Amino acid sequence: MFDSVGWGEILVLIVAGLFILGPERLPEAAAWLAKSMRKVREFATGAREQLRDEMGPEFEQLRKPLEDLRGLRNFDPKRVVTQHLFDGDSDPLGLNNINGTNGANGSNGSNGYAAAPAKPQAEPLKPGEKPPIDPDAT
């Protein structure tokens, strides 16, 4: 339940509680909160056990989709789109192993980028030869 709450947040809550409730009522409020959370946890466990007893083997069939939904908490749309577009290829542009260097760790230069592969050079025009013209580009 408190997976994403760190010590800093807890400290802020305690200080806020001191200002709001005062030092006299803060221990009572903390005890009440702990007791209430314990009751809620017991109710949830009891409901789960009751469902498991009443449903029998069908409970596992119901639980599986719920576990899949819980997995959506860690949903990363950027990772999913990358996997879909590049079929899980971790290096879709082929930049990691160019000329025997690894572009991912920056061992090939000071900026950490791999050099682009050399394009084949077109042959120079012969004397008197007209360059090719692309009518769509002009």
Q: Is the pTM of this model over 0.85?
A: no
**Residue that the structure tokens 């509680």 belong to:** 17
Q: Can you give the pLDDT at residue 109?
A: 46
Mean pLDDT along residues 104-113: 48
Please report, as a single letter, which amino acid is at residue 65. P
Structure tokens at 5: 């709450």
The count of other CB atoms within 10 Å of the CB of residue 130 is 6
Name residues whose C-beta falls within 8 Å of residue 92's C-beta, 6 or more positions apart in sequence.
Answer: 82, 85, 86
- Categorize the per-residue pLDDT at 100 as very low, low, confident or very high, splitting at 50, 70 and 90: low
Q: Is the pLDDT of residue 43 over 90?
A: yes
Q: Where are the alpha helices (DSSP H) in 7-108?
A: 7-55, 58-70, 77-86
Q: Tens digit of pLDDT for each residue in 16-41? A: 888 888 888 888 888 998 999 999 99
104 vs 87: CA distance, rounded Å: 19
